[in-house]
Structure 1
């Protein structure tokens, strides 16, 4: 078994999709630990603000099988790909950030996820959930990476989330 860290985000009926996404992960992959939930601005496009968090779980699935399971869960929750979402809308986005010490670089998958240290919506909840976890390539803890995070264009604020 390896520990997987998965980013969960939504900007459509946010509270409902956060609850549904976490419940689906538990139902299909087993017990999860969750970070605090944050509200963040969209990055890379203009759209509604998101709710984001990071989930940790243990799995014996391969990286490719786990990503396929995450994509299937997104689809089951109404995720539209290829421009089919409402402008700036995403019902459920599940991204595999880390899977144990796996390092994968392929056309379809990169582990650790390359952009995880560049986005507040990923790095802050990951640092909350696993502050002492070391990045497999950078050798720094998630808390140290968050402490050094410097992009004042990205706003992030905690949500008093009612589970």
Structure 2
């Protein structure tokens, strides 16, 4: 079994598409570990704010099988591939890590570079896997988050999924 961390993002009908992603992941994997849901400004383009979170799962699926499932889930939820890379999206799922794999695996670069660059990936990852170690730099995610010094704003939002409160807004 591999431990995999997956980022989920949406800035179109955010609650609907994040819920759709969580429903699919819960159907595919036993007991997914789910971070709080965070709202953040769009990065790389001028667009509506995103909802972002990270989910941890254990799986026997390969990186290729996971990637194919995620691309199909995105397509089933209206994700368009004929638009610029940095543009609004209904649903975006990315494999962040697959155990301690490093390099290009089945066409996916691991670990995903966004872990160290974007607060909306690193903070939720540090929340659910504080002592897990980044496979390249060797630091745990909590330490990486504490050292994070980029100016990216994000905040937890109220989010309930399957009757369970996933996150709660804090005073800003």
TM-score by length of 2: 0.88
- Contact 1:47-1:89 at 8 Å conserved across structures: yes
Q: Number of residue pairs matched?
A: 161
Q: Where do 5+ consecutive residues of structure 2 fail to align?
A: 162-172
Structure 2 residue 145 is matched with structure 1 residue 146: yes
Deviations 1:110-155 (A, max 9, x none): 1111221100110000000100010011110000111111111x11
Q: Where do 5+ consecutive residues of structure 1 fail to align?
A: none
State the SS of the aligned residue for 2:83: coil
> Which position in structure 2 is the counterpart of 1:9?
9
Matches within 5 A, 1:12-31: 12-31=12-31
Structure 2 residue 121 is matched with structure 1 residue 122: yes
Q: CA deviation at 1:62?
A: 1.2
Cα RMSD (Å) of the superposition?
A: 1.8
State the SS of the aligned residue for 1:116: helix
> Which position in structure 1 is the counterpart of 2:109?
110
> Which position in structure 1 is the counterpart of 2:158?
160
> Which position in structure 2 is the counterpart of 1:100?
99
